[in-house]
C-alpha cells in the first residue's frame, strides 16, 4: 500500500495527470479501431518523446498501452473483430453474447474484468516487481518450449464439438506458424515466393482475415449482427450494470486469471495474446459450467479480459528490472529510457523507486478511467451492432482493408488477409475452431525455435525438458489441466446421481 | 428413408485441398536440411492422420433433420448453393480488385467505389443508390481524415492522380 501511495503522490501533478488523460483517450481510440494497435501508435509517439521529460513520456505510454487493452475488446465483442491482437480471445464469449442480444451486458462485464485485471496486475507489480524480475531470467529455451506446450493445452478447451476437428485446426495453425524463413538454416518455407511472407505470416492481416472479413461473409445474408433488435434497443446503463455485476460473480476466476496474466506477461517473449488464451483454457478446464463456454458465458469473458489487462504491468516488470522487454510494446519503453540516457536494470528500483511505483500506479488509475469512460460511451457503442448490414458491411470492409494495409504499407498484406478469410470461412462452415487455429499460429513461433535451442544447449539431450525445476512444474500443470476436466465431470455426475437418488 | 446419409462432399473437397497444400509444402522443403524440415514434417504427419480421422468421422456422422438436402433435384440444389455463395464470391472478387487498383487509383477512389458497391449490393430497399452514396462518402471522408490527416499515415493517393498533379 505504501508503494501505491508513493506512486499516487508522484502522479498528483498537472502535467502528469494531463499525460494520463491524453494517453487514456488516445489508447481508447486506438484500441477500438481494428488495424491500429498500441505498438504502431507508440512508435509514432517516439518522435515526440525525444522532446519530453522521460517520466511523463513513460507515463503517457503506459496510459496508451493499458487503455488500448481495455478498448480492444469493444470491437471484438460488438463485431467480432479484435481491436488489438491480444483481444482475439474476447471474441469467443463476447461476440456470442452480442449475438444473443446482450451486447451491453458483455461490454459491462468486459470493462469490469479489464479494470480488475489492471488493479490486480498493478498491485502485483508494486509488490513483486523487484523479485519477479530476477525469476523472469530463469526462463530459458526449455522453459519457453514447455510454456508454449502448456499454452497448447488451452486448445483442448477451444476444440468445440469435435476434438479431432479442433486438433486439426490447431495443427493447421501450427503449420502456418512455420511459414517464412527458418530460424536456424535461413531457408524459406512455403512462401509462394511472396516477399511479405519471408518473415512469417503477418499477424494483423491474419487476424483481420480470420475474424473480420470471414464474419462479413457470414453477415451477407443477414439484416444486422444481433439476433434481436429489441434487445439492442433496450441496451442502457442497467444492462451494463448487469454485466458488471455478473463479472463479480466470478471473483475467483477474476483473481486467478489476473495472476496468470501477470505471470505470463512477465515472461519475456510471450505477451497478452498467449496470456488471455491460456487463461481462457484454464478457466474452462476448472469451471463447473464448462459446458456453457463458447455459447456466450460471462466467466470466459472475465478470464480473457482480466488476463489481458493484468499482463500489461507484467510485461513492464522485466523491462524495468532487467532491461529485457516482455512484449513488443515495452521495447519502445526501453527506447525512451535510452533516449534520455537512463538504463533500466537491476538497480533501477533502487535509483528510481518513486518513478517505478508511479508507472504501476498509472496502470491502476488508467484501468479505472478507461472503465468509466467505456461505460459512459458504450451506450452509443452498442448501436453499432444495430446498424443495418448495408452500413455495417462497408464499415467492416473498410477497416479490415485499411487495417491490413497500414500496418506495414504493403498491398500484398491485403491478399494475405483475403486468403486467410477464405480459409476461415471454410473452417467456420465445417465447424473447425478458429481460435484453436489462431492459438496454433501464435504458439508455433515459440515451439519450434525453443525446441531446437534447448537441444543445442543440452547437446541433443532430451532430458533437458524433464529435469529443470520450472519444466517439472509446467509438466505438472499440463497434466493437471488435462486431468482436471475429467475429474470435475466425474464429480458432477456423482453429485447429480446422488441428488437424483 | 431416402438420402439418410449423404457424403459431406463440401467438407471432403476442403480436406483434399488441405492435403493438396501439404503436398505443395512437402515438395517446397524436400531438399532442406533436417532442422528446417523436422517440425513441419511432424505437423504434416499429424495433419494427415487427423484429416483421415475427420473424414471417417464425417462419413459416419448422422445427418440431422433440416441439414439434409432431401429430394431437391441436383440442378436446383446447385442453383441454390450458387445463390448462397454468389455474394461471397463477389465480395472476394471486389476485395481482390481493391488490392489490385489500390496503388494505381489511391485509397480515396478505391474505398469510395468499394463501399458504394457493397452498400448498394447489401441493401434490398428502394433508396439504395442514395443510401450507398451517403454511406460511402461519409465513410471514406472519415477514414481519410482520421488516418491520413490526424494520424498522418501515408495513404496512397494513386499513381494516376499523381501523374495529373492532383
A194 in contact with B at a CB cutoff of 8 Å?
Answer: no
pLDDT at residue B41, as a whole number: 94
Contact B29 A189 (CB under 8 A): yes
Place of cell 504493403: A410
Q: Look up residue A302 and give its three cell numbers.
A: 472475465
Q: Look up residue A141 and give its three cell numbers.
A: 529455451
Of residues A213, A398, A409, nearest to B139 (C-beta): A398
Residue B34 pLDDT exceeds 60: yes
**Rg of chain B taking only CA atoms, in angstroms:** 24
- C-alpha A342/C-alpha A333 separation (Å) is 11
Q: Which of B40, B123, B149 to mutate to test the interface with A (most CBs of A within 10 A)?
A: B40
Helix (H) or strand (E) segment spanning residue A188: strand A188-189
pLDDT at residue A230, as a whole number: 47
Residue B23 vs residue A13, higher pLDDT: B23
What's the distance, CA B7 to chain centroid? 24
What's the distance, CA A100 to chain centroid? 24
Contact A187 B44 (CB under 8 A): no
Please compute the mean of the pLDDT values over residues A67-90 and round it to a whole number: 84
Please compute the mean of the pLDDT values over residues A26-34 and round it to a whole number: 80
Q: Which tens digit of pLDDT belongs to each residue from A302-325?
A: 999 999 999 888 888 877 877 766
Helix (H) or strand (E) segment spanning residue A180: strand A180-181
Task: Name every chain A residue with its beta carbon within 8 A of the beta carbon of B88.
Answer: 217, 220, 425
Residue B2 confidence class, pLDDT cut points 50, 70, 90: very low
pLDDT at residue A15, as a whole number: 82
Contact A190 B98 (CB under 8 A): no
pLDDT at residue B20, as a whole number: 95
- C-alpha A86/C-alpha B61 separation (Å) is 36
Residue A501 pLDDT exceeds 70: no
- For residue A382, the 8-state DSSP code is G
What's the CA angle centered on A487, arms A485 and A492, to 5 degrees?
95
Contact B88 A389 (CB under 8 A): no
- C-alpha B40/C-alpha B38 separation (Å) is 6
Q: Look up residue A16 and give its three cell numbers.
A: 502528469
pLDDT at residue B138, as a whole number: 93
What's the distance, CA A429 to chain centroid? 26
- For residue A423, the 8-state DSSP code is H
pLDDT at residue A133, as a whole number: 62
Contact A185 B35 (CB under 8 A): yes
Q: Which tens digit of pLDDT belongs to each residue from A173-216?
A: 999 999 998 888 888 998 888 888 888 888 888 888 888 888 88
> Which of A308, A6, A265, A319 has the alpha carbon at shortest distance from A133?
A319
Q: How many helices (H) and strands (E) does chain A have?
A: 24, 2
**Distance (Å) from the C-alpha of residue A382 to the closest C-alpha of chain B?**
19
**Distance (Å) from the C-alpha of residue A474 to the closest C-alpha of chain B?**
22
Task: Name every chain A residue with its beta carbon within 8 A of the beta carbon of B52.
Answer: none
Q: Percentage of residues in chain A with pLDDT exceeding 90?
A: 11
pLDDT at residue A88, as a whole number: 83
Residue B88 pLDDT exceeds 60: yes
pLDDT at residue A233, as a whole number: 42
pLDDT at residue A384, as a whole number: 67
- For residue A208, the 8-state DSSP code is I
* Average pLDDT across chain A, whole number: 82
Residue A423 pLDDT exceeds 90: yes
A164 in contact with B at a CB cutoff of 8 Å?
Answer: yes
Comparing alpha-carbon positions, the chain A residue that sits nearest to B85 is A217
Contact B95 A430 (CB under 8 A): no
Lowest mean pLDDT among A32-36, A189-193, A467-471: A32-36
Whole-angstrom CA distances from B92 to A210, A323, B21 are 14, 45, 20
Place of cell 480492444: A72
* Burial class, A56, CB count within 10 angstroms (exposed 0-12 / middle 13-18 / buried 19+): middle
**Distance (Å) from the C-alpha of residue B94 to the closest C-alpha of chain A?**
10
- When mean pLDDT is compared over A36-40, A404-408, B94-98, the highest value belongs to B94-98
Residue A280 pLDDT exceeds 50: yes
- C-alpha A180/C-alpha A201 separation (Å) is 7
- For residue A211, the 8-state DSSP code is I
- For residue B150, the 8-state DSSP code is I
A448 in contact with B at a CB cutoff of 8 Å?
Answer: yes
Lowest mean pLDDT among A144-158, A359-373, A454-468: A144-158
N residues, chain A: 501
A161 in contact with B at a CB cutoff of 8 Å?
Answer: no
β pairing state of A180-181 and A188-189: antiparallel
> Which of A61, A53, A57, A63 has the alpha carbon at shortest distance from A24?
A63
* Average pLDDT across chain B, whole number: 82
pTM confidence score: 0.77
pLDDT at residue A321, as a whole number: 77
Comparing alpha-carbon positions, the chain A residue that sits nearest to B30 is A189
Residue A223 confidence class, pLDDT cut points 50, 70, 90: low
pLDDT at residue B43, as a whole number: 93
pLDDT at residue B21, as a whole number: 94
Residue A480 vs residue B136, higher pLDDT: B136
- C-alpha A245/C-alpha A109 separation (Å) is 7
Task: Name every chain A residue with its beta carbon within 8 A of the beta carbon of B136.
Answer: 394
pLDDT at residue A228, as a whole number: 47
- Across-strand partners of A180? A189
Q: Percentage of residues in chain B with pLDDT exceeding 70?
A: 78
Helices (H), A137-153: 141-152
Residue B4 pLDDT exceeds 60: no
- C-alpha A258/C-alpha B131 separation (Å) is 46
Residue A450 confidence class, pLDDT cut points 50, 70, 90: confident
**A 217-236 residues with CB < 8 A to B:** 217, 220-221
- For residue A290, the 8-state DSSP code is G
- Across-strand partners of A189? A180
Residue A189 has phi, psi (to 5 degrees) of: -125, 125
Helix (H) or strand (E) segment spanning residue A181: strand A180-181
Residue A420 confidence class, pLDDT cut points 50, 70, 90: very high
Q: Which tens digit of pLDDT belongs to each residue from A349-362?
A: 777 778 888 888 88
Whole-angstrom CA distances from A318 to A51, A204, A271, A327, B59 are 26, 26, 12, 10, 52
**Distance (Å) from the C-alpha of residue A292 to the closest C-alpha of chain B?**
22
Contact A401 B140 (CB under 8 A): no
Task: Name every chain B residue with its beta carbon within 8 A of the beta carbon of A168.
Answer: 47, 50-51, 54
- When mean pLDDT is compared over A33-47, A335-349, A451-465, B58-72, the highest value belongs to A451-465
Amino acid at each position: 500500500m505504501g508503494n501505491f501511495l508513493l506512486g499516487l503522490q508522484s502522479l498528483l501533478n498537472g502535467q502528469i495527470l494531463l499525460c494520463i488523460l491524453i494517453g487514456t483517450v488516445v489508447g481508447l481510440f486506438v484500441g477500438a479501431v481494428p488495424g491500429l494497435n498500441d505498438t504502431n501508435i507508440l512508435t509514432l509517439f517516439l518522435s515526440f518523446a525525444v522532446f519530453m521529460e522521460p517520466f511523463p513520456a513513460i507515463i503517457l505510454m503506459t496510459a496508451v498501452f493499458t487503455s488500448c487493452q481495455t478498448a480492444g475488446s469493444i470491437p471484438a465483442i460488438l463485431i467480432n473483430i479484435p481491436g488489438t491482437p491480444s483481444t482475439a480471445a474476447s471474441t469467443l464469449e463476447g461476440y456470442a453474447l452480442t449475438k444473443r442480444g446482450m451486447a451491453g451486458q458483455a461490454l459491462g462485464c468486459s470493462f469490469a474484468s479489464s479494470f480488475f485485471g489492471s488493479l490486480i496486475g498493478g498491485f502485483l507489480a508494486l509488490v513483486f516487481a523487484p523479485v519477479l524480475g530476477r525469476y523472469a531470467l530463469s526462463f530459458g529455451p526449455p522453459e519457453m518450449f514447455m510454456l508454449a506446450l502448456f499454452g497448447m493445452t488451452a486448445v483442448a478447451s477451444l476444440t468445440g464439438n469435435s476434438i479431432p476437428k479442433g486438433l486439426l485446426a490447431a495443427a493447421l495453425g501450427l503449420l502456418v506458424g512455420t511459414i517464412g524463413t527458418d530460424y536456424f538454416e535461413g531457408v524459406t518455407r512455403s512462401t509462394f515466393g511472396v516477399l511479405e511472407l519471408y518473415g512469417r505470416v503477418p499477424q494483423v492481416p491474419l487476424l483481420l482475415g480470420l475474424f473480420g472479413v470471414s464474419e462479413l461473409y457470414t453477415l451477407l445474408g443477414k439484416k444486422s449482427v444481433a439476433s434481436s433488435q429489441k434487445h439492442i434497443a433496450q441496451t442502457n446503463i442497467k444492462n451494463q450494470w448487469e454485466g458488471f455485476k455478473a463479472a463479480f460473480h466470478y471473483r475467483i476466476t477474476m483473481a486467478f486469471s489476473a495472476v496468470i496474466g501477470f505471470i505470463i506477461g512477465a515472461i519475456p517473449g510471450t505477451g497478452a495474446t498467449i496470456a488471455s488464451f491460456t487463461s481462457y483454457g484454464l478457466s474452462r478446464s476448472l469451471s463447473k459450467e464448462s459446458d456453457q463456454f463458447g455459447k456466450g458465458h460471462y466467466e470466459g469473458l472475465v478470464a480473457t479480459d482480466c488476463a489481458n489487462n493484468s499482463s500489461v504491468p507484467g510485461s513492464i516488470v522485466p523491462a524495468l528490472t532487467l532491461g529485457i522487454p516482455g512484449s513488443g510494446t515495452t521495447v519502445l519503453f526501453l527506447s525512451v529510457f535510452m533516449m534520455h540516457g537512463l538504463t533500466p536494470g537491476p538497480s533501477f528500483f533502487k535509483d528510481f523507486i518513486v518513478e517505478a511505483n508511479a508507472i504501476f500506479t498509472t496502470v491502476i488509475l488508467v484501468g479505472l478511467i478507461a472503465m468509466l469512460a467505456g461505460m459512459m460511451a458504450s451506450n452509443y457503442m452498442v448501436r453499432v451492432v444495430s446498424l443495418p448490414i448495408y452500413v455495417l458491411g462497408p464499415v467492416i470492409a473498410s477497416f479490415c482493408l485499411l487495417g491490413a494495409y497500414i500496418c506495414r504499407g504493403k498491398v500484398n498484406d491485403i491478399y494475405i488477409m483475403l486468403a486467410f478469410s477464405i480459409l476461415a470461412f471454410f473452417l467456420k462452415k465445417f465447424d473447425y475452431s478458429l481460435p484453436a487455429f489462431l492459438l496454433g499460429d501464435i504458439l508455433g513461433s515459440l515451439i519450434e525455435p525453443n525446441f531446437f535451442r534447448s537441444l543445442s544447449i543440452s547437446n541433443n539431450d532430451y532430458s533437458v525438458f524433464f529435469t529443470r525445476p520450472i519444466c517439472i512444474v509446467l509438466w505438472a500443470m499440463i497434466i493437471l489441466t488435462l486431468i482436471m476436466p475429467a475429474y470435475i465431470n466425474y464429480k458432477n455426475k456423482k453429485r447429480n446421481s446422488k441428488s437424483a437418488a | 428413408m431416402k438420402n439418410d446419409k449423404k457424403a459431406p462432399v463440401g467438407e471432403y473437397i476442403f480436406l483434399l485441398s488441405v492435403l493438396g497444400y501439404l503436398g505443395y509444402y512437402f515438395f517446397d522443403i524436400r531438399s532442406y536440411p533436417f532442422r528446417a524440415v523436422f517440425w513441419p514434417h511432424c505437423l504434416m504427419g499429424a495433419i494427415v492422420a487427423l484429416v483421415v480421422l475427420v473424414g471417417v468421422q464425417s462419413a459416419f456422422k448422422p445427418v440431422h433433420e433440416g441439414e439434409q438436402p432431401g429430394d431437391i433435384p441436383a440442378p436446383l440444389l446447385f442453383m441454390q448453393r450458387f445463390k448462397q455463395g454468389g455474394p461471397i464470391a463477389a465480395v472476394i472478387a471486389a476485395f481482390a480488385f481493391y488490392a489490385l487498383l489500390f496503388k494505381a487509383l489511391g485509397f480515396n477512389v478505391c474505398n469510395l467505389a468499394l463501399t458504394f458497391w457493397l452498400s448498394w449490393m447489401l441493401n434490398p430497399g428502394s433508396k439504395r443508390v442514395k443510401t450507398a452514396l451517403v454511406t460511402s462518402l461519409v465513410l471514406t471522408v472519415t477514414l481519410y481524415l482520421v488516418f491520413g490527416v490526424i494520424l498522418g499515415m501515408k495513404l496512397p493517393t494513386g499513381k494516376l492522380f499523381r501523374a495529373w498533379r492532383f
